[in-house]
Each structure stands twice: as structure tokens, then as C-alpha cells.
Structure 1
Amino acid sequence: MRPQKTNDTRLIEGLITVLQSRGFEGASLNDLAQAAGLQKASLYHRFPGGKQEIAITALRHVQAWIKDHIYLVLTRQDMAPEAKLDLVLQHIQERYQQGEKNCILNALSFDSGLTGIKNEISTSMQLWIDAFTALGTGQGLTTSQAGAKARQSLILVEGSLVLARGSGNTAYFHQALAELKKLYINT
């Protein structure tokens, strides 16, 4: 078997970058192939389901990132809540390049009528909410209270990314992360 010439993570991150900035409809197969470092024929070979399969693969990659960098951190028992939250906020800043990058969940939500995409977006958001709910219940909140805070955390981050992108001002993103921390940590 021939070895893969392109690292899968790098390939998928390249696809995510295009989908984040252009959405499903705006992303051409040429743009996606170029970002993945592949010829168009190789992109078709890897993703015979076309752009829809690419989008679903990208969303599943983001789900794995949310699980590894948010869920598994916030559900750890061997760290103080503030330390867990600080680490997660650092991961979020890195993922969205300090507020410079759009969120793929937002970018693809406009195309959520496509089979599978809506479910993948919903699964990703629920994983985020479950992670922050666990943080809240670990601090003694009821499941209902923790769930409300968890949804607020997602609204803060997603909303700030929209504001940052629309205004060209990443201060909204940083302000939202500070507000998110205040939701959970008494300062």
C-alpha cells in the first residue's frame, strides 16, 4: 500500500480553514483541494461524497477537538475549576487564533439543511454544552443552572466571533472570554 503523502490532520485543518471563511456554498472544490494540498482528483478520491462529505469530516474533526480540548479538560477530577477553565480558554483562543478565525459551526449552520451537516453541528454544540454543564455541576450548581450557564458560554464565544469578524475587532472575542470566566469563577 502506498503511504499517504498528506498528513490527515493538516489536510482536514486546511479544509476547515476554507469552510470557516467561505461556508459550504462559497467553498469551491478547487479552493478545498488547494487548501488540502491535493489535486482535485485526489480530493474526489478521498471524499467521494464531495463537499458534503468534506463538511461532515471537518465537523467530526472539530467534534474530536471539542472532546479533547474542552470536554475532557472540564470533566477532569484532578484539577481545580479555575485551572480547568483557564486551560480551556487558552485552547479556545488558540483554536480561533485570538478571535481572528470564524467558527466552522457558524459558517456551516447556514447550510444545515444538508443531510448530516445539521446533526454534526448539533452534536458539536451539545458536546460543548455538556462539558460546561459538567464544570457547573462540579461547582455545586443544579443541572438546570449549569446547563443555562453552559449555553451562555457557547453564546458568548460564538457571538463574539461573529462580532469580531463583522467589525474587524477581536477585542469582542477577548471580552467574551473574560465574561465566560466570570460566569464560573468568582473574581
Structure 2
Amino acid sequence: MARTVMERADVLPLLGEAFREHGFEGASLSVITQRTGLGRGSLYHFFPGGKAEMAAAVLEDIDAWFDHEIFVPLRMATDPRAAINAMWEAVSAYFQSGQRICLVGAFALSDTRDRFASAVNAYFARWIEALAAALRRLGHDAKYADAIAEQVVAGIQGAITLARARPDAGLFERVVTGLRAMTEK
């Protein structure tokens, strides 16, 4: 039975989970229709460009969430320490303590890397720059802030991978605790 969807935005989280579970190539239209509860006609109404447009829209939606919840506060908050602390809370919640894959990171590692290279690169570059900006506002020199920000974002991505690969429920939070300490120096 088809699910009633009022807006294109209602479909994006469902598509995101289909891509997280099956990857871009593995998320066939059959998988997508099953996951969303929409027929092909409804999907093409929302996404005339097909699966590539669906994936691009999901990446834009993820980017918008991160921009609102993490990037802008890191760049603009009057209290950079509070913004960094809020980033850690948001990261843990969003990635479900490492049990939810980073779809942007997954696209960076897959054969679809070239297709979405611009969006993937922009996402990671903006995160690193936003965190580095907050660290600079805390008084760290630019070189240190840039290096720590890059290590932190890379460490979060690695922690997600390890947490998904290993049967250790506390691994993600332990790694994040260590990374968090790097931002508190």
C-alpha cells in the first residue's frame, strides 16, 4: 500500500536510510519504492532526475542539517566553547553513538565518489573550517586549529567505521571522548 507523502522533504529521510542500508548502487528503484512506500510515478514526480537526483537531494538535506546544527554555530556562536560542546552532543546523537553510518562518508568511499565529489568535499571542508574557526576564537593559532579540526573530523569518521565493524558498543563514545579532549586543550 502506498504511503501518503505531502512534501518532497518527507521522502528525504526515507531515501537517506535506503542509501545508508544499500549504498547508491544497491538502492535500486525497487528497494527505494519499498523503503519509501511510494510508487515510481510519485518518486519521479518528486525527483524527475531519478536516483541521482534523489541522492543529491539527500546529500543537500544532510548538509543543511549539519549547517544549521553544527557548522553555523561553530562559525558564529559568541561562545565557541559552547558551540564545540554542542557539536559533540549533536554528532553523538546524529550518528547514534556510531551505529548510524555517515552517508556522506559512505559516498566518499564508494564508486559514486566522483559523481558526488563536489558535495562530499564541500561537506567535509565546511566542517573542518567551522571547527577550526571556533578553535581560533578560543585563542589557538591558525595552524594548530586547522590541524586539530582535520584530525577531529577524520577521527569521527574513523570512529563511525570502527563502531559499525566491531562488536563494542562503547567504542564510538570512547574515541569521541579522546577527540573531544583534543578540542579542550
| TM-score, normalization by structure 2 | 0.88
Q: Give the equivalent residue in structure 2 for 1:29.
A: 29
Q: Identify the residue that residue 130 of structure 1 maps to in structure 2.
A: 129
* Aligned-residue offset at 1:73: 1.7
**Cα distance in 2, alignment partners of residues 28 and 58 from structure 1:** 15
The match for 2:183 is 184
Give the aligned residue type for 1:97.
Answer: Q
Partner of 2:154: 155
After superposition, the CA RMSD in angstroms is: 1.8
Deviations 1:119-138 (A, max 9, x none): 11111111111111111111
Amino acid at match of 2:53: E
Counterpart residue type for residue 78 of structure 2: D
Partner of 2:120: 121
Percentage of pairs with the same residue? 27
What is the distance in 2 between the residues matched to 1:7 and 1:177? 36
Runs of 4+ deviating beyond 6 Å = none
Give the Å deviation of 1:114. Answer: 4.3
CA contact (8 A) 2:71 2:126 kept: yes
Aligned residue pairs total: 181
- For structure 1, which segment, 142-151 or 166-175, has the greater mean C-alpha deviation from structure 2 after superposition? 166-175
CA deviation after TM superposition for structure 1 residue 80, in Å: 5.0
5+ residue gaps, structure 1? none
**Amino acid in the other structure paired with 1:112:** T
- 1:1-187 equivalence runs, <5 A: 5-81=5-81, 83-109=82-108, 110-115=110-115, 117-186=116-185
How far did 1:18 drift?
1.4
Note if contact 1:12-1:58 (Cα within 8 Å) is conserved in structure 2: yes
AA in 1 matched with 2:133: A
Quote the Cα distance in structure 2 between the aligned partners of 1:70 and 1:172.
23
Q: Aligned partners of 1:70 and 1:97: how far apart in 2?
A: 16
Gaps in structure 2 of 5+ consecutive residues: none
Letter in 2 for 1:35: R
1:44-97 C-alpha deviation (Å, 9 max, x unpaired): 22112111111111111111111111112212333251x222211111122112
> Is contact 1:11-1:35 (8 Å) kept?
no
